[in-house]
Amino acid sequence: MRHLLSTADLAHDDAVDLLDVAEEMTQVAEREVKKIPVLRGRTVVNLFFEDSTRTRLSFEAAAKRLSADVINFSAKGSSVSKGESLQDTIQTLSAMGADAVVVRHGGSGTPQRMATSGWIDVPILNAGDGTHEHPTQALLDAFTLRRVLAGAPASGPAEGARGRDLSGATVAIVGDVLHSRVARSNVHLLTALGARVVLVGPPTLMPWGVDAWPAEVFYDLDEALAAHSFDAVMMLRVQLERMHQSFFPNPREYTRLWGLTEQRWRALPEHTAIMHPGPMNRGFEISAAAADSPRAVILDQVENGVAVRMAALYRLLIGTDSEGRP
Q: Cα(44)–Cα(285) distance, rounded to whole angstroms? A: 35
Encoded amino acid at 323, one letter: E
- pLDDT-based confidence at 323, cuts 50/70/90? very low
Q: What is the pLDDT of residues 105-142, one digit of tens each?
A: 999 999 999 999 999 999 999 999 999 999 999 999 99
Binding-site residue numbers are 54-55, 82, 104, 134, 137, 181, 237, 278-279
Sign of dihedral through CA atoms 179, 185, 191, 195? negative
Q: What is the pLDDT of residues 236-291, one digit of tens each?
A: 998 877 666 677 778 888 899 999 999 999 999 999 999 999 889 898 999 999 99
Can you list the domains of the chain with their CATH numbers? 7-132+303-317 (3.40.50.1370), 135-302 (3.40.50.1370)
pLDDT of residue 78: 63
| Global pTM value | 0.93
Rg, the chain, Cα only: 20
Contact 290, 296 (CB under 8 A): yes
Residue 45 zone, left/alpha/beta (φ > 0; ψ -120 to 50; rest): beta
Binding-site residue numbers for carbamoyl phosphate are 54-55, 104, 134, 137, 278-279
Binding-site residue numbers for L-aspartate are 82, 181, 237
Quick check: 321 pLDDT over 60? no
Q: What is the pLDDT of residues 176-203, one digit of tens each?
A: 999 999 999 999 999 999 999 999 999 9
- pLDDT-based confidence at 326, cuts 50/70/90? very low
pLDDT of residue 251: 83
Contact 311, 18 (CB under 8 A): yes
Q: What is the pLDDT of residues 69-107, one digit of tens each?
A: 999 987 765 667 667 888 998 998 889 899 999 999 999
pLDDT of residue 249: 73
Contact 231, 272 (CB under 8 A): yes
CA quadruple 207, 181, 190, 269: dihedral, nearest 10: -80
pLDDT of residue 242: 66
